[in-house]
């Protein structure tokens, strides 16, 4: 995260998330290594699996690899698709 921002800013964001009532901290116990084209993306997939996320929202084409597997199932949707879901709620 330091590559894109400062350590202080990242620390502040983590403090805010740590205090939010609708945020749950989940430990990742298994690393699937599904995304071969960009291994750095795997952390987001692993977090989605560990948390049992309904969706992983991304416009990153590397996640198209995930759409080809049946297990573990993670629903990859674009930001536009997610906005459409939110409009229906």
Contact 62, 37 (CB under 8 A): yes
Condensed to tens digits (0 to 9), the pLDDT of residues 13-24 reads: 999 999 999 888
Condensed to tens digits (0 to 9), the pLDDT of residues 5-59 reads: 788 998 999 999 999 998 888 889 999 999 999 999 999 999 999 999 999 999 9
Domain ranges in the chain are: 25-88
pTM greater than 0.85: no
CA separation (Å) from 35 to 42, 66, 79? Answer: 6, 7, 19
Condensed to tens digits (0 to 9), the pLDDT of residues 72-82 reads: 999 999 999 99
């Amino acid at each position: 995260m330091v590559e894109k921002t400062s350590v202080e800013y990242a620390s502040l964001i983590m403090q805010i998330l740590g205090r939010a009532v609708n945020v749950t901290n989940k430990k990742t116990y298994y690393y699937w290594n599904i995304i071969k084209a960009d291994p750095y993306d795997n952390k987001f997939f692993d977090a989605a699996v560990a948390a049992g996320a309904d969706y992983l929202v991304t416009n990153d084409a590397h996640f198209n690899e995930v759409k080809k597997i049946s297990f573990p199932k993670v629903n990859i949707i674009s930001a536009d698709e997610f906005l459409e879901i939110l409009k229906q709620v």
